[in-house]
């Protein structure tokens, strides 16, 4: 799976190169490319935002800069492009499994008051939210999405690991125990000791 991330803050994605996702990148099961939207600004100080028409607090990301960053991605028109925003459909396990079947994802991380609607209408296939709250930008939701989706990419983790985990059958997973048998005067349930 190929994942391109459009962001104003590429440095925020260093943690994604760790753990299971990091190993998947090293094994070439997942390819992650980070595109700095600021690199496409034509302004002297790489300005990427402006005041909104109609007034209001905050700034809006400019459409031309976002569009040029998007167009820099090879075969962008063939990829599924996702914008992470509070207005999107809430991410769930079914959505994660479906997205893991895509060959190429482009993830757009917004900031400030959002992104000019005209470019969103032009390039976005789907808006996704990771919950009913507001964050400072789309980078953390992008990492959540990448981590969840990558687990279902063939070869990233053992398939049997995903069969009985939380949400696999719309249920939460049962409590887990390991050695030692007694910890802080609490014993592993007897039924598990017989296995």
Does the residue 36 lie in any domain? yes
**Tens digit of pLDDT for each residue in 73-116?**
999 889 999 999 999 999 999 999 999 999 999 999 998 889 99
Does the residue 182 lie in any domain? no
Does the residue 172 lie in any domain? no
CATH number at residue 100: 3.40.1280.10
User: Where in the sequence is the domain holding 50, given as residue range(s)?
Assistant: 2-162
Q: Give me the pLDDT at residue 157, please.
A: 85
Q: Which stretches of 101-169 are assigned E, i.e. beta strand?
A: 104-109, 126-129
Does the residue 135 lie in any domain? yes
Residue stretches of the chain with pLDDT short of 70: 158-173, 195
Q: Which two tokens stand for residue 138?
A: 């789309």
Does the residue 169 lie in any domain? no
Q: Give me the pLDDT at residue 101, please.
A: 96
CB 73 within 8 A of CB 67: no
Q: Give me the pLDDT at residue 162, please.
A: 56
CB 32 within 8 A of CB 143: no
Mean model confidence pLDDT for the chain? 90
Q: Give me the pLDDT at residue 175, please.
A: 82
Domain count, the chain: 1
Q: 122-158 burial, b if ≥16 CB within 10 A, otherwise e?
A: ebbeebbbbeeeeeebbbebbbbbbebbbbbbeebee
Does the residue 8 lie in any domain? yes
Does the residue 50 lie in any domain? yes
Does the residue 123 lie in any domain? yes
């Amino acid at each position: 799976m190929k994942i391109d991330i459009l962001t104003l803050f590429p440095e925020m994605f260093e943690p994604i190169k760790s753990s299971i996702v990091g190993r998947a990148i090293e094994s070439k099961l997942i390819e992650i490319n980070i595109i700095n939207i600021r690199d496409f600004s034509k302004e002297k100080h790489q300005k990427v935002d402006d005041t909104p028409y109609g007034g209001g607090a905050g700034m809006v990301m400019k459409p031309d800069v976002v569009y040029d960053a998007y167009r820099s991605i090879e075969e962008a028109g063939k990829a599924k492009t996702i914008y992470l925003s509070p207005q999107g459909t809430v991410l769930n396990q079914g959505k994660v499994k479906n997205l893991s079947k895509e060959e190429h994802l482009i993830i757009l991380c917004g900031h400030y008051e959002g992104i000019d609607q005209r470019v969103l209408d032009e390039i976005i296939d789907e808006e996704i939210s990771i919950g009913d709250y507001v964050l400072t930008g789309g980078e953390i939701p992008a990492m959540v999405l990448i981590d969840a989706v990558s687990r279902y990419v063939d070869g990233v983790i053992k398939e049997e690991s995903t069969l009985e985990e939380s949400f696999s059958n719309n249920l939460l997973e049962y409590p887990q125990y390991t050695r030692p048998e007694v910890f802080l005067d609490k014993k592993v349930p007897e039924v598990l000791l017989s296995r």
